[in-house]
A = this chain, B = another copy of it.
Amino acid sequence: MVGWAIAVHGGAGVDPNLPTDRQEQAKQLLTRCLNLGISALQSSASAIDVVELVVRELETDPIFNSGRGSALTEKGTVEMEASIMDGVGRRCGAVSGITTVKNPVSLARLVMDKSPHSYLAFSGAEDFAQQMGVEREENDYFITEDNKGMLKLAKEANSIVFDYRIPTTGYESCGSGVDTPIHMNGLPISVYAPETVGCVVVDSQGRCAAATSTGGLMNKKTGRIGDSPLIGAGTYACDACGVSCTGEGEAIIRGTLAREVAVVMEYKGLGLQEAVDFVIKERLDEGQAGLIAVSKTGEVAYGFNCVGMFRGCATEDGFMEVGIWE
């Protein structure tokens, strides 16, 4: 039996001009979350418990776009979604349209473990949260000054935020007014906020799990669902591996990105890193995205085809790495 491995991410698509202190802050958070996961793994916690634990920490910290610190909807509110999957038995749970639940990933876990369904959204999800007695907060709790500023910029950039890179007919006139070569989701990279956080783990018994959580797209219409709560797109775990994705929503959905890593391992016999590279190269077309993955044999890998992805990884043999750029 090989050892445990863990990876975390805080979103793909990073402003190359991100101030160094912001880069440092992000790396410190990633390091802290990794260490949290590592301590749990060293105490023989199960993969499913570790991914939930780590993503809760990422949701609670205001830095990345999940839980507190989520990107804002066009109305200036926060609307969150998350999903979690246990490679053992491929059980899963997901939530969308969350506005008062402090830790969306934990609600997704409860959907998986304690509800007769797989995916609950909006008022139905909030009702379930009430029944389960999870920690609730007013929507203001999740809103940060940073994000209010970002929303203002997004609206000023006079751009509609796309789920995809190439607008369909009728949207040509909606391109951003800001002159910058790098865009993601239709926003200049200086304004675009990384979309999600995620964690994948293989524990000391070779069990894989994955979890993803997000506030979604900056300036989104209420009711817009992205890839993060969609099993097979933003999150996937099975016997062979655990995967969590981030980036342009439509590209991840139509590429069924998370599932694809497992598919090529299983049906093409590729190893984990090969599978990750293949999927990033072949399944995204013009889309920009990234992902983290672990395999049941204790490997960890990541890949992205955009400018940067906040990530960290560690394995039982002492390897540890936190990074942003290529």
Contact = CB atoms under 8 A, between A and B. Distances in A.
Interface stretch (A56-64, A119-127, A291-299, A307-315): A119-127
B92 A253 contact: yes
A96 to B, nearest CB: 7
Interface string A62-88: 000000000000000000000001000
A254 interface: yes
A119 B253 contact: yes
Contacts of A206: none
A164 to B, nearest CB: 8
Interface string A236-254: 1000000000000110011
A267 interface: yes
**Copies of this chain, count:** 2
A37 interface: no
B120 A122 contact: no
B116 A160 contact: yes
A123 B223 contact: yes
A117 interface: yes
B256 A116 contact: no
A94 B96 CA distance: 14
A58 B131 CA distance: 36
A117 B220 contact: yes
Contacts of A224: 117, 119-120, 124
A281 interface: no
A149 interface: no
A90 B123 CA distance: 31
A122 B99 CA distance: 14
A91 to B, nearest CB: 7
B121 A223 contact: yes
A171 interface: yes
6 smallest CB-CB distances across A and B, nearest first, come from A124-B223, A267-B267, A232-B256, A119-B225, A232-B232, A90-B254
